Amino acid sequence: MNDEILSLEQAAMERWRNGDPWGFIELSADDISYFDPGRCKPIIGMDEFRPYMQQLEGKIHYQKSEFIDPKVVMIGEAALLSFNYRSTQLDQEGSVTGQTPWNATEVYFHRDGQWKIVHTHWSFLRHKVPDKVEVPVPVRSTQVQYEGVLAELMRLESAAMERWRKGDPWGFVELYDPQITYFDTGTTRRINGKEAMVAEYKKREGKIFYDVMDFIEPHVHVCGDMAVLLYRFLSTTLTTDGSILQRIPWNCTEVFARGDGNWKIIHNHWSHIRGERY
21-36 average pLDDT score = 98
**pLDDT recorded at residue 144:** 84
Q: pLDDT digits over 167-217, tens only?
A: 999 999 999 999 999 999 999 999 999 999 999 999 999 999 999 999 999
Alpha-carbon distance of 131 to 125, in angstroms, equals: 19
Going by DSSP bridges, is the β-strand pair 43-44/28-35 parallel, antiparallel, or unpaired? antiparallel
246-256 average pLDDT score = 97
Total residues belonging to the chain: 278
Nearest one of 119, 115, 202 to 167, comparing CA atoms: 202
Alpha-carbon distance of 63 to 267, in angstroms, equals: 30
Alpha-carbon distance of 164 to 17, in angstroms, equals: 39
Residue 166 has pLDDT above 90, yes or no: yes
| Class at the top of the CATH hierarchy for domain 148-277 | alpha beta
**pLDDT recorded at residue 31:** 98
Residue 1 has pLDDT above 70, yes or no: no
DSSP letter at 260 equals: T
Mention every residue, 6+ apart, whose C-beta is less than 8 A from residue 271: 35, 37, 103, 121, 123, 124, 127, 183, 184, 185, 250, 251
Q: Global pTM? A: 0.97
| Class at the top of the CATH hierarchy for domain 2-128 | alpha beta
The domain spans of the chain are 2-128, 148-277
Alpha-carbon distance of 137 to 42, in angstroms, equals: 11
Q: Are 25 and 53 in contact (CB under 8 A)?
A: yes
Alpha-carbon distance of 210 to 222, in angstroms, equals: 31
Over pLDDT 70: what percentage of the chain? 100
Q: pLDDT digits over 52-76, tens only?
A: 999 999 999 999 999 999 999 999 9
Q: Same fold for the domain at 2-128 and the one at 148-277?
A: yes
**pLDDT recorded at residue 35:** 98
